[in-house]
């Protein structure tokens, strides 16, 4: 080795600690080798996440393409093999009730609240019972044992249809008898409230029930409404009349609800001013034996109610144009009414009805194909009421 080489090697040996020291004081990311090693895992994870997101987006749009390909399902409601309604009801009636002792004990424990409930009714509140289980037996027991001093009218909201006008007429007649019992003759009442009540309007009847010429402030007629959210009372008009009825000075309401969305039937004024509810959580866990009898079974068939219910579900799932299109109208009439824009559109609507067996085709004597609805008259009436609600 030459002397110059030896001197160069010695010089590098002397400078090596200073180079290492300088590297140790430089930021980690400024060293290219260390930077690439430390950042590699996060970069790989980022790439994996982007690939997964891309794959998810790709699958989503592929699914949308397949869904919109126009392929039509051949399944129909009539293809479902369901049991007969009477058979299903008989089987349901034979179901053994479990925890009967505990249920009776729970219901009996609520009887200690009866005096409080009466006091709140006398103060002008309405009582609203909610919670899992039928509350029919409990409320009727309360009315028959704690409200013996008052007249009570029962409305079964779980029925499919209820005539509220007849209910208000009955209330007016009862209140008229109450006035006479309290020695309030007809001369003490305005002439426009003379009997018969069935010839008067709802507004006049409600005004009569709101008359405040009775000295006793706690004199009232109690209305018990089982399932105020039931199918017979669920429409807006019925709820408005019930709210006005509850706001009458001589009317009190004790009601039950079983639908979780029942409060959506009322606005703030109805809840706090007209009904003036005092809410009670009263779970009984009792079976809905009576209420269930009047409700159409979704697993049964061959009944008018179920046929109408099925038809209503199908019609309400269609577009507004398809719902309002007369099934027996010709293409010309439908186009004049701006219900369809082409024969293809009309045929697509008719195909939808035929697939669900709401419309059938038969050949007339003159050779033309005619459309008809394979439902009985009472089923059609029920269908119209379901759609108009």
Question: For residues 159 and 301, what is the distance between their CA atoms, to the nearest angstrom?
Answer: 19
- Give the β-pairing of 369-372 and 360-363: antiparallel
Please write the tens of the pLDDT for every residue from 278-305. 999 999 999 888 887 776 655 555 455 5
Per residue in 40-49, pLDDT tens? 455 555 566 6
8 Å CB contact between 256 and 228: yes
275: DSSP letter: I
Of the chain, the end-to-end C-alpha distance in Å amounts to: 108
| Cα dist from 55 to 30, 49, 52, 59, 62, whole Å | 36, 10, 5, 6, 10
Cα–Cα distance list, 244 to 99, 205, 223, 230, 250 (Å):
41, 11, 13, 18, 12
Neighbours of 209 (CB within 10 A): 22
pTM, two decimals, is 0.58
| Mean of pLDDT over the chain | 74
Q: Which residue has the higher pLDDT, 352 or 203?
A: 203
Mean pLDDT of 232-257: 92
């Amino acid at each position: 080795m030459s002397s110059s080489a030896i001197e160069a090697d010695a010089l590098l040996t002397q400078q090596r600690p200073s180079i290492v020291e300088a590297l140790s004081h430089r930021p980690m990311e400024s060293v290219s080798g260390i930077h690439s090693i430390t950042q590699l895992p996060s970069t790989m994870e980022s790439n994996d996440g982007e690939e997964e997101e891309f794959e998810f987006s790709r699958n989503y749009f592929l699914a949308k393409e397949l869904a919109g390909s126009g392929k039509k399902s051949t399944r129909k409601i009539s293809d479902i093999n369901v049991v007969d309604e009477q058979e299903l009801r008989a089987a349901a009636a034979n179901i053994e009730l479990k925890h009967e002792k505990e249920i009776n004990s729970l219901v009996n424990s609520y009887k200690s609240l009866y005096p409080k409930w009466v006091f709140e009714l006398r103060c002008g509140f309405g009582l609203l019972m909610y919670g899992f289980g039928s509350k029919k037996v409990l409320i009727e027991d309360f009315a028959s044992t704690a409200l013996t001093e008052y007249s009570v009218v029962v409305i079964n909201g779980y029925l499919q249809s209820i005539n509220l006008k007849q209910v208000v007429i009955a209330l007016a007649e009862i209140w008229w008898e109450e006035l006479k019992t309290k020695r309030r003759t007809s001369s003490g009442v305005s002439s426009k409230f003379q009997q018969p009540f069935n010839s008067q309007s709802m507004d006049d009847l409600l005004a009569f029930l709101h008359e405040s010429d009775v000295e006793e402030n706690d004199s009232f007629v109690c209305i018990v409404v089982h399932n105020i959210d039931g199918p017979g009372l669920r429409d807006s008009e019925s709820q408005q009349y019930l709210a006005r009825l509850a706001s009458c000075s001589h009317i009190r309401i004790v009601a039950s609800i079983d639908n979780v969305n029942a409060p959506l039937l009322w606005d703030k004024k109805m809840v706090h001013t007209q009904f003036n509810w005092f809410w009670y959580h009263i779970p009984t866990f009792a079976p809905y034996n009576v209420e269930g009898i009047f409700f159409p079974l979704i697993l049964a068939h061959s009944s008018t109610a179920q046929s109408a219910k099925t038809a209503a579900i199908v019609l309400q799932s269609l577009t507004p144009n398809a719902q309002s299109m007369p099934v027996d109208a010709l293409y010309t009439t439908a186009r004049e009414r701006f219900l369809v824009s082409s024969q293809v559109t009309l045929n697509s609507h008719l195909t939808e009805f035929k697939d669900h067996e709401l419309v059938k085709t038969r050949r007339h004597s003159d050779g033309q194909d005619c459309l008809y609805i394979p439902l009985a008259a009472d089923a059609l009436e029920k269908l119209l009421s379901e759609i108009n609600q």
